Structures are given as C-alpha cells and as structure tokens.
Amino acid sequence: MDTAKRSLHATLLFLLTLVVACTDDQGDSSDHVASPDSYQKYEEKGVSFAYPDSWSFSYDDSPSIYTSRGIGLDISEFSTITILISEDKTLELDYVADRLLSEFQVKEKDSIKNFTRTSDLIGRFPAETATWDDHFLGETRYELTVAKVKSNPHDVFVAFSLSDDDIGNAQDHKERFLKSIRIQ
Amino acid sequence: MANTDSTYDGTLISELGVKRYLKGRSDLPTSNINFFVRGGAAETAWKECNFGCHGPTYRNLTKPSTFQEALQPIDQFSPTLAGVVDGIRHQTVGRAQNLAGGIERTGEGLMLGGDDAFQNVGEENLAAYEFATTCFEKLVNFEIDTLDNPLSQAVLTIVNEYTAVIPEWVLRSAYQDGALKLPESVNTVSLIKAVSMGIIKDVDQIDLSEAINLLKNPSKRFAGKQIGKKLASAMGAVLAATICKKLMTQGPGLNATKRDIAKLRSHMRGLRGGLGGALLKLLQTQGVLDRAGDASRRLNQASPRLWRLLRFDLNGANMVYFLVEPLIKEYVDRLALLERRPQEFSKVMIALMQEKQTKSIFFPGSAM
C-alpha cells in the first residue's frame, strides 16, 4: 500500500513538474503554436527561431555592440529586426527602448512630427512602441518596437525597426516571430 | 614586422596606448616639454614651471579659443596634463589655423551665417566650402558601409583613434578573461584600402598581414611579453575595423540614415550640373546643415584633434559626424578625456575592467 501511495505521489510529482516546465516564467501553451511552413528556421548556439521567407538573416555576433549576443535580420533595405541577448546583466524594457530610440535622433531633427510612444502587449509580450513621421524630402513613417520575450535564463529583447510599407507588412508576423524564439 | 627596440617604455605604451606613445616619441625632440615625465619628477617640473621654459616657439603661436579653454582650468589638472595640452596646441590647433584661416571661420560657421553668407562664399573659405561639397556628394553617391563613404571613414577614424589608446594591459586582461573575442575572419582588402586612403596611419601592409596572422592563431595571441609597437598598432587597427563594421551594421538608427540618403540620391538624380552646390542648398533648406554644423562644433570643442582629422585628413567628414554622433559620441568623449585628463582616463579603464564592463571598453556608448 505504501508502495502504491509512493508511486502515485511520484506520478503526480512528475506530472506537476511537466506542467511547471511547460509554463515557465515567460511561457505558456500558446508558445507552441506552429509557425507557417513557409517560415525559415534558424538554430545556432542555443538559440532558435522561425521567420518569414521574405526576411533575410544578417548576422549573429557575440558580443554585439549592445549586449552579450546580437542577431540581426533584414526585412528590407531600411527595416531590420534585432534580437538582443543579455547574458551578464539584467535589463529593463524601458531602458533598452530608450537607448535604441536615441539613435534615431527624434528629438534633434526638426523634420520629425507626430511622435508617439506607448506601452502595449504583442500577444503576451510586453512591448514599447514609438512611432513618428519624418518630413525630410517627403514623408516617411517610422516605427520602433522593442519587446521583452524572455527573462530566463537570460534577458532577451527584440527590436523591430520599421518604416513605411514594412510597418504594415510586418504586423502579422511579429507575434509569431516572438513566440518562436527559444533560448537554451 | 615586430620592432624589438628595447629603449621603448612598456609602461608608457600601456598607459598611453601605442599610437599616442609613438607619436609622443616622434614629437619629443622638437618639444620644449618632456611630456613623458611621470610621478614626482613631473610634480617638481610643474611647480617650478613659470612658462619661460617653453621657449620662443611656444610664445610665438597665437591663442585660439580652444587652447584658451584648455588652459583655463589648468590648476585642476594633473602635472602630466601640461605636456598633453601643449601637444594638442602644436599638433592640432596650429595646423588648423594655417589651413583654414582660423578656427572661427570654418565652413559650417560661414554657411550658418545666413543665406547671403551661404551664397557668397569668400575666397578664404573656399577650401572649407569645397570640403563640405565633396563630403556630401560622397555621402550620397557611395553606400554607407563602404570606405569611400565619409560616414564610414569618420567612424573608422574615430574608433581607430580610440582602439589605439586602449592600454595593452586592458586588451591582455580582457583576452585572458575570455571577454575579448577577436574576429575569426578579417576583411584584409578593406583594411589595406583604409591604409592606402590614409584613414589608418602609421601602419603598413606588412604589419597588417602579421597582425592578421597573429589574430588567426589563438595560441599566439597576447602570448608574448611584448608584442611590439608597430604590430600592436596594426592589431588595434584590425580591432577598430571589426568594431566599425559592427557599428555600421547593427545599429537600428542607421536605418533612418540610409533612407534619408536614398531620398537624397533619388532627389539629386533630377538635378543637372552643379551637383555639389545644389546639394548643399537642398541640405540647408531641410535644416540638415544646421545640425551638421552644431555637431561639428561639439566635436571640435570636445576633441580638436579628432575634428582636425575629419576636417582635413578626411576632406570634410566632420560635416557628416552628426549622422553617427549617437553611436560614437562616447568614443569621442573618452578620447577627449584622455587628451585633457589622462589620469582620469586610466582610472576609467581600471574601473571598467574591475567591474567586468568589458563591452563598455570596446563598444562605449552602445553597450547596455
């Protein structure tokens, strides 16, 4: 009898462990929604993700100019995605968004209009999104979105730097791309 | 080829960086100040100094504002600084005066003085005007990640100046801690082109080849007690090229710059003749020259030496500095700190190493 109880407890413990493992601090079952077949797969040195066929891989650098590791994808000549993995430091979403936004010099340019910045969610991922119009030699719409996708084992952020048509074209892929990211 | 001259001071090379040390050695015979003096000897020399010791050459040079600014808080500076300030004056400000007819009368100052001044470029400022014209033409006509583009030239020049002054002990410690990951492959052609264009100085192709071979062989990296000054300088150039490549490809902010340049390029196709002048007028009406001039003056104030390199050696690249200022401002600030307060610069490096902030040594300003 004791043996049966112990066996039952062990089974329950095992099942509980499985449940916990499948719902870590950032994950839930919705993470495992399969990406479309047309998506390309990337897997290198403990990082994997899937991305649309129209995007192209650019670099995987350790260290990147920002964090311990950075992976870049090109959406077009003027729009990019950057995955930032911080292995040695805890970073806040606001801080990362501020640092990347400062590179666009939105405060310094006279040609910048209609600047907005909002906190929102992409799926269940917290994100900061800034949008603005630049009237330098005609109007161009810009959008910078920084999302935090992991905090365990490392902080992982994704920055979407988009402009004009790429803003609309990338919207449908953002959440699927974020959900596909796996870090070992 | 490694130089094994034993009269070089390894401590000073480590403290000043190999490029600055070699430059100091070459300038020492014509200087009235021994700016390599350290410690108690420097304290004594400074206390006894009444400026009479500096000789007629020193007194004959006129006083530009940048030098005056550097001298005003001199009492707060270390004795070591005296020599450094003197060096800045001789090497940077004096030459700039000769070439452009005065620090105050630069191209950006002229162009920002109003439409009339912009349209009527005086003969004495023709060189500055030509610099700006040529620079913006190249900015529009070449891809920004090629060395023909002044943006890449400016970034590589500033980063190379910075990597040249990172003390050898910092590189060694960073490497031994596994924090410095040297590139697995190096774009040799690009490096040689940088040397041939004069963007990387005091390094020849033989040094570069040897440095690249050394970097490809991990067991030899930093294995020797003394790498050799010229070889270390070449390794610094390789490191600079690697950092520059990352800066020019990884920063999302450059997306907007690329798009602006593409717009300019498209716009300029419709113009016939007088491309340079038309381009400058266009940039002025769009407010770009205002920002360019402001950033150029900030650079000049922070580091006259860097400003001179961009202005004269790179034919006006100071006017496109504003496009990458957020990415490389910290490099400039640290070089300015080294020029004005070298002991503080050293303290910064020590603190960064102790705190394991290695990324902040190699990617100052962008590392998070």
C-beta separation of A133 from A142 below 8 A = yes
Count contacts between A and B (CB, < 8 Å): 101
Each residue of B11-52: pLDDT tens digit?
Answer: 564 455 444 665 677 777 877 677 777 767 766 766 666 555
The nearest CA of chain B is from the CA of A177 a distance in Å of 18
Pairing of strands A112-122, A155-163: unpaired
pLDDT tens for the 368 residues of chain B, in order: 333 344 556 556 445 544 466 567 777 787 767 777 776 776 676 666 655 554 444 333 333 334 444 334 433 433 333 333 333 333 333 333 333 333 333 444 444 444 444 444 444 456 667 777 888 888 888 888 889 999 999 999 999 999 888 877 777 777 766 666 666 677 888 888 898 888 888 788 888 888 777 766 655 555 554 556 677 778 888 889 888 989 999 988 889 989 988 888 887 776 655 566 677 777 877 778 878 888 888 999 889 999 999 988 888 899 889 888 888 888 998 898 888 878 778 777 877 777 777 778 888 878 88
Task: Enter the DSSP assignment of A34.
Answer: P
A47 pLDDT higher than 90: yes
Residue of B nearest to A99 (CA): B366
Nearest to B277 by CA among B104, B152, B100, B111: B111
| Exposure on the CB side of residue A154, measured as CA atoms within 13 A | 20
Distance CA B32, CA B86 (A): 9
Candidates A57, A92, A103: best to mutate against B (most CBs of B within 10 A) is: A103
What pLDDT, in 10s, does the model give residues A75-107?
999 999 999 999 988 899 999 999 999 999 898
Q: Which of B250, B283, B324 best probes binding to A when mutated, by most A CB atoms within 10 angstroms?
A: B250
Query: Regarding beta strands A155-163 and A40-44, do their DSSP bridges make them parallel or antiparallel, or are they unpaired?
Result: unpaired
Where in chain A does DSSP place strands (E)? 40-44, 47-51, 56-61, 69-74, 80-86, 112-122, 125-134, 140-150, 155-163, 182-183
- How confident is the model at residue B177, as a pLDDT? 66
Residues of A with Cβ-Cβ distance to B366 under 8 angstroms: 65-66, 99
Token representation of residue A17: 């462990």
Rounded CA gap, A64 and A4, in Å? 55
Nearest Cα to B253, choosing from B321, B319, B318, B326?
B326
Chain A hits for B288, Cβ within 8 Å: 136
CB B154 within 8 A of CB B321: yes
B361, two tokens:
């040594």
- For residue A79, the chain B residues in CB contact (below 8 A) are 255
Can you give the pLDDT at residue B124?
40
The answer to whether residues B241 and B186 touch, using CB atoms and an 8 Å cutoff, is: yes
Interchain contact, B250 vs A144, CB within 8 Å: no
Residues 6+ apart with CB under 8 A from A86: A67, A68, A154, A155, A156, A157, B368
Out of B259, B287, B290, closest to residue A140 by CB: B259
Among chain A, residues having any CB pair with chain B shorter than 8 Å are 58-59, 61-68, 70, 72, 77-80, 82, 84, 86, 88-89, 91, 95-96, 99-100, 102-105, 108-111, 134, 136-138, 140, 142, 144, 159, 161, 163
Q: Which residues, other chains included, contact A102 with Cβ-Cβ below 8 Å and sequence gap of 6+?
A: B253, B326
Is 0.90 surpassed by the pTM of this model? no
A66–B367 C-beta distance less than 8 A: yes
